[in-house]
Amino acid sequence: MTGQTAIHIRNLHKVYRLLADGPLTRFALMKKSDLSLMSMTNLINQLAEEGVVDCYKEETAVKRVGRKARTVILKTEAPVWLIMDLRNASIVCEFFKADRKKAGTKTFDGPDYNRTFSEFLAFLGSAARRFPLRGAAAITPGPYDPKTDRVKNIRIPELNSMPLQKTLSEALGLDCYIEEDVKLSAIACSERFPYMESLYYLYIGTGVGGAFVNKGDVIKGLNLMAGDPGQLLWEGRTFEEQLKTETVLAEAAAGSAEEVIRKKAEVARRLADIILWILDPHVLIIDCAWPGKLRSLFAKETKTLLSENTWRIMPAISIPEGPEQESALGAINIMELRWITQFCTKEKQTPRKEQ
C-alpha cells in the first residue's frame, strides 16, 4: 500500500466517523476534518458510490446566496457489524449499525460448551444471510496468534485447540477479525486521544491485563503479551492475585472496605509506576471493573496517589468511576478500517492527492 493510499484510507475513515455522529453538510465536514473542499467532495462521492451515504439538498427557510448546501447522511437502516464475544462460557453476538449503535443481541448458553458453540456456529450462517454485514470480529479472553490460528487462555480452554479464524469464517462466509479483549479496549480508548502518540490501557477486574498502543498500533511482542503486567510480582504475590475482583471482594467482606481500597490503590500505584517507567506513555487509562462503591472509591484513591508525583511529567490519566472496557468499539474501529481498505484497493488506480 502506497503512502498516498494510506492517507486516502485514513481520511475516508475520518469522514465516515464524523458522519456516524449525525448528518453534516460538506462545508461542516470540511471544517471538522481539516480537509479541503475538493478532497471532501471526492471522499463523499466515493462513499456515495459504495452506497454508504445519501446526499440531500438542504431544505430550510433560511435564504442563502448561491446553491443550496447538500447534507450528507450516513445510511444506518440495517446492522453491518457483528461482534462475537467469546470471553465467557456464555457466547454473546451483538449487531451494530453503521453509526455504532447496537441493533440486537443474541446469547448462547448451556452446561455443555461444545454444544453451545455448535449452536452459535449454526446461527452465524443464518445471520450472514439475513443482514448485509460488512465485517465480523471475535473478542477473545487471551492472546490470539494468527500464525497458528489459536487462542491462548485459561478461562475457556476449549478455545485453545480450535482453529478459530477458519471456523468462524467458514460459518459466516465472511472473513473474521480476531483479537484479545484488552487490546481492543486499548484501541477504543486511543480514539479519544487521536493527537497523543502513545496510550497504555490497564484493566483490573476478573484478572489484570493491559495493552500498549503506539502511533495507532497495538504493540504485541514475541509472545503476543507485550504490556500485560498481571503476572509481575509485588511483595511476593502477582499483581493479578492482589487486584482481581475475587480477592478484593473477599478482603472487603472480612474487614473495612475503605481500608482494603486504600491498600489496593497503593498496589495499583506501584503497578502504574512500573508501567510509566518502562513504557512512558502519553496517556494512562486505568479501567477498574470492581462492583459499585468499590470501583468509585478505588478511582478516587488511586487518582490522589498518582497526583502526588512532583518530579516527572505525568501522562494524561483517566480512571473512570464507571466501567470503561470498550472492546466492542475497538473491534468496530478495526473492521471499519479493514472494510474501507478493501473497497479503496479493489480497483488498481492512482488515488487522488489529499492534504
Closest CA to 158 of 209, 191, 115, 121: 115
DSSP assignment of 244-307 equals SHHHHHHHHHHS-HHHHHHHHHHHHHHHHHHHHHHH--SEEEEEE---HHHHHHHHHHHHHHHT
pLDDT class for 112, splitting at 50, 70, 90? Answer: very high
pLDDT for 348 equals 45
pLDDT class for 347, splitting at 50, 70, 90? Answer: low
Q: Please write the tens of the pLDDT for every residue from 240-258.
A: 999 999 999 999 999 899 9
First to last CA, the chain: 18
Q: Is 81-174's fold the same as 184-324's?
A: yes
Tell the CATH topology of 3-75.
Arc Repressor Mutant, subunit A (1.10.10)
Closest CA to 326 of 285, 293, 292, 291: 285
pLDDT for residue 158 is more than 60 = yes
pLDDT for 299 equals 92
Distances (CA, A) of 113 to 25, 117, 120, 170, 199: 50, 6, 10, 20, 36
| Residue 198, amino acid | S
pLDDT for 185 equals 95
Copy the grid coordinates of residue 266.
Answer: 497503593
Residue 8 burial by CB count (10 A; 0-12/13-18/19+): exposed, middle or buried? buried
For the chain, the domains span 3-75, 81-174, 184-324
DSSP assignment of 17-48 equals HHHHTS-EEHHHHHHHHT--HHHHHHHHHHHH
Copy the grid coordinates of residue 46.
Answer: 466515493
The CATH H-level superfamily of 184-324 is ATPase, nucleotide binding domain (3.30.420.40)
Other Cβ atoms closer than 10 A to 23: 15
Other Cβ atoms closer than 10 A to 81: 24
CATH ID of 81-174, from 3.40.720.10, 1.10.1060.10, 3.30.420.40, 3.90.1150.10: 3.30.420.40
Give percent of the chain above pLDDT 90. 76
Phi, psi of 83 (to 5 degrees): -110, 125
| Residue 216, amino acid | G
Size of the chain, expressed as the number of residues it contains: 355
Q: Is residue 5 a contact partner of residue 345, using CB atoms and an 8 Å limit?
A: yes
Q: Please write the tens of the pLDDT for every residue from 292-338.
A: 889 999 999 999 999 887 778 899 999 887 666 689 999 999 999 99
Nearest-angstrom CA–CA distance, 316 and 284: 6
Nearest-angstrom CA–CA distance, 221 and 235: 26
pLDDT for 241 equals 97
Nearest-angstrom CA–CA distance, 95 and 97: 7
Q: Decide: pTM greater than 0.85.
A: yes
pLDDT for 255 equals 85
